[in-house]
Structure 1
Amino acid sequence: MNSALRKIYNFAGVLAAISLLAACETVPEQKPAPAPEPMAAPAAAPMAAPKAKPKAKPAPKKKAKPKMLNITQKIELQGMPFGKAEMTDDNKKELAKFLASLRKATKARGPVAIGAVVVTGHTDRIGSLGYNMKLSERRAVVVKDDLVSSGVDQKLIFWEGKAFKQPIPVTKFCDNKMKRKQLIECLSPNRRVTVEVVGRAVSLAKPKPAKKKPAAKPGAKKKPARR
């Protein structure tokens, strides 16, 4: 009985071995999966060029202030009619020419900006002080009005009368013993109105170039002292 069981067990073991071998033959040999191809690294994005900084604008150069000149100009309108506050034709021409010279630029200066005008009336010595004072004031007013009509600002004009207190020096030789007509003619320069203008103007004179100092001459070489 035991021997029969052993035969059965041996036969069963042989069958199991055969079936195992058969199973091994039927299973196909599995090939290893191919290795994945290496992926190329993504290309780096190109860096944008740095923007150039805008150049700073140079600071505007400050204009040098022009040099200003103080101007004082004076004119005397002589020979006014005796006993009258009137300007002669020559007086009017002289005053117009005087004003034109102030408004016109010269090589040394620009047009004059008027700051003040002083008008002073005068008379000769014939007659009383009171009479001549009023006459000198009327003469000053006549000239003042002519200045205003010529474009001078009335607010800048100051006027006064001096009667015969400031005679022209040359008239001292007019002798009172002269005939009246001759004396009146001799004293004609005193019958006048002075116009003095004070103002400012731009200097147009070119600055003189600085003088170059001569180069110092090299000192003479000292001779060595003899021993």
Structure 2
Amino acid sequence: MNKTLRVLLASVIAVSASAAMASDNWQNGDGALNWKNGDGTLCWRDNNWTPATAAKGCDGALVPAAPAGVSQSKITLQADTLYDFDKATLKPEGKTTLDKIAADLSKIKLEVIIAVGNTDSIGTDAYNMTLGQRRAQSVKAYLVSKGVDGSRIYAESKGKSNPVASNATPEGRAKNRRTDIEVVGTAAK
């Protein structure tokens, strides 16, 4: 990965991470140290790790702010416009939203897109991780079909581990069935 992409990816992490960020990197018993590989350059991490949950000093140190000229935005695509229950097939309303995103991407020099599929709490952890991945992949495939460079799009799943609403009601579960998209790029010159 080239240095520019690392810096921009680190910027996505810094901007999207909260102050009390939970890490999915493996840590020692008291959480003071992250486990690292033999030469100390990479941290060990679990299967829930994403760039947004990277720990400081791991996988490209977090930086305090985005470099000048870098544009970053996070978009949440809700299930009511994107997917039917238990599906990863894009609905027409979701395609319309992605068409607008693809058009907006032509105005920047795209560095990276991170698509994270999420599910409600119905079903097993394993099933929901797979469904979330299929949802993120459907967004990636659609954007690629619209001319976006697929090598710049990372698709991953959080399954049911990242709810934004209560899973106790149908409305809350619907809000949790979504795909979050982070876009990073520089202003076109």
Q: TM-score, normalised on structure 1?
A: 0.49
Aligned equivalent of 2:96: 93
Q: How does 1:55-70 map to 2 (within 5 A)?
A: 69-70=69-70
1:166 alignment partner, one of 158, 162, 165:
162
Higher strand fraction (1 or 2): 2
Deviations 1:100-148 (A, max 9, x none): 2332xxxxxxx21101111111000111111101110111111110010
Q: TM-score, normalised on structure 2?
A: 0.58
**Residues 1:118 and 2:114 are matched in the alignment:** yes
Deviations 1:46-101 (A, max 9, x none): xxxxxxxxxxxxxxxxxxxxxx6101122111112111112121111111112223
The letter of the residue matching 1:132 is N
The letter of the residue matching 2:69 is L
Q: How many Å separate the matches in 1 of 2:72 and 2:108?
A: 10
Aligned equivalent of 2:86: 83
Aligned equivalent of 2:176: 190
Gaps in structure 2 of 5+ consecutive residues: 1-67
Gaps in structure 1 of 5+ consecutive residues: 1-67, 104-110, 176-182, 204-227
Aligned equivalent of 2:125: 129
Over aligned residue pairs, what C-alpha RMSD do you find? 1.7
Aligned equivalent of 2:143: 147
Aligned equivalent of 1:60: none
Q: How many Å separate the matches in 1 of 2:177 and 2:98?
A: 16
Deviations 1:182-217 (A, max 9, x none): x444411111111111110158xxxxxxxxxxxxxx
Aligned equivalent of 1:107: none
> What SS is found at the alignment partner of 1:151?
coil
After TM superposition, which residue ranges in structure 1, 4 or more long, deviate above 6 angstroms? Answer: none
